[in-house]
Amino acid sequence: LSTSLDPSVRRDWSSDVFFFQAEDGIRDYDVTGVQTCALPISKLHQGASRVAQGDFDYRLDLQTNDEMSELAESFNRMTDRFQQTNCDLDRQVRERTKQLLRSERLAGIGLLAAGVAHEINNPLSAIAMATESIQYRWEDLCAGADPDEVENVRDYLEMIHSEAFRCRDITARML
């Protein structure tokens, strides 16, 4: 039998018979070929189109118990794996976004700490310099003063000086 399967194929779905133009005339074929091949292929095509348009929840349901049904199951497994991969990638993007935001916040806090430390160091330097200046001129300033009071003021000056340098060390460690 030599048949010419070209655009001259006609379908008559209402009578469930295919008509093919053959070299020696028109032949008719039972609808079984349509049910086992054409309709499942059409469903596979429809499913592939839906998934391609983003409907990743769509699953094919072919109950033909043949290669077409196996192909549909493979398609469903492929769609499941794609959906799992897509969910995993979405999760990774959310996680990386959180990490990036956390890093940006920490960088901002670091910049703030550096700015605060710099601003604190300026007055601390002035305090330390002033106490050093007073200590340098101490003997001239205390001439004729009560020795007990002189000693108290000297202790306070030393405490101010040492605490100013301690604060500078603390801010230096912040940087």
Summarised one tens digit per residue, pLDDT across range 123-169 is 888 888 988 888 888 888 888 888 888 888 889 989 998 998 898 88
- Name which residue leads in pLDDT, 42 or 20: 42
Band of pLDDT at residue 14, cut at 50, 70 and 90: very low
Summarised one tens digit per residue, pLDDT across range 48-87 is 999 999 888 999 888 888 888 898 899 999 999 999 999 9
Secondary structure in 3-state letters for the chain:
CCECCCCCCEEEHHHCEEEEEECCEEEEEECHHHHHHHHHHHHHHHHHHHHHCCCCCCCCCCCCCCHHHHHHHHHHHHHHHHHHHHHHHHHHHHHHHHHHHHHHHHHHHHHHHHHHHHHHHHHHHHHHHHHHHHHHCHHHHCCCCCHHHHHHHHHHHHHHHHHHHHHHHHHHHHC
